[in-house]
Amino acid sequence: MARLAPPEPSQMSDAQKEVAQTILSGPRGAIIGPLGFWLHRPGLAAPAQELGAYCRFGSSLPPRLSEIAICTVARVWSAQFEWYAHKRMALDAGVSEAVLDAIRDGAPPPFADEQEAICHEFSLAAQRDRTVAPELYERTLAILGRDGLVDLVGINGYYAMVSLTLNVFEADLPEGVDPEM
């Protein structure tokens, strides 16, 4: 059971209701995962959900590449809810099940192209080492370009915050879903 429940709608302040309505009317359409925890502090929830919407829906990276990065971050953090939510999104975006199984298992993934591979390699290094080596930085820049690199860093930072939130508050998986990691 999660350590913290989302605020009850009937108990929400006006600021909480405003942020909740923004989330519900946006591309997510639901208050799930870290959003329910953050909603206790609408000053945190509002900009965090906006950054998350950019990372998921406005990034220069196509969803297939974003989802590889997100799943890599979820795996490094062992964020069960994040893995559960984004594995499905990654499959829908065209990431192969074999790639996701390898990321989950810590094995070398059989990537289809160098963009997929660099998103994983960069994200793995950034999360584990808290930086990337100059050679990896230069390769990522050459493969993804400046905008792709900046967005990849943003995705890594945002989803590290998401994973930390989910882990600290022990986010529950939906009923009937078993942890994969």
pLDDT band per the 50, 70, 90 thresholds, residue 28: confident
Mean pLDDT of 3-11: 94
C-alpha–C-alpha distance, residues 64 and 126, integer Å: 19
C-alpha–C-alpha distance, residues 27 and 23, integer Å: 8
User: To 5 degrees, how large is the angle CA 157–CA 30–CA 161?
Assistant: 15
User: To 5 degrees, how large is the angle CA 91–CA 167–CA 178?
Assistant: 50
C-alpha–C-alpha distance, residues 93 and 64, integer Å: 5
Sorted by where each begins, the domain ranges of the chain are 9-58, 63-168
pLDDT at residue 143 in the model: 98
Residue 116 predicted with pLDDT over 90: yes
Report yes or no: 56 and 33 within 8 Å, Cβ to Cβ.
no
CATH fold of the domain at 63-168: AhpD-like (1.20.1290)
161 CB neighbour count, 10 Å cutoff: 17
Q: What is the pTM of this model?
A: 0.95
C-alpha distances in angstroms, 132 versus 46, 53, 117, 137, 141? 30, 25, 15, 6, 12
Report yes or no: 162 and 82 within 8 Å, Cβ to Cβ.
yes
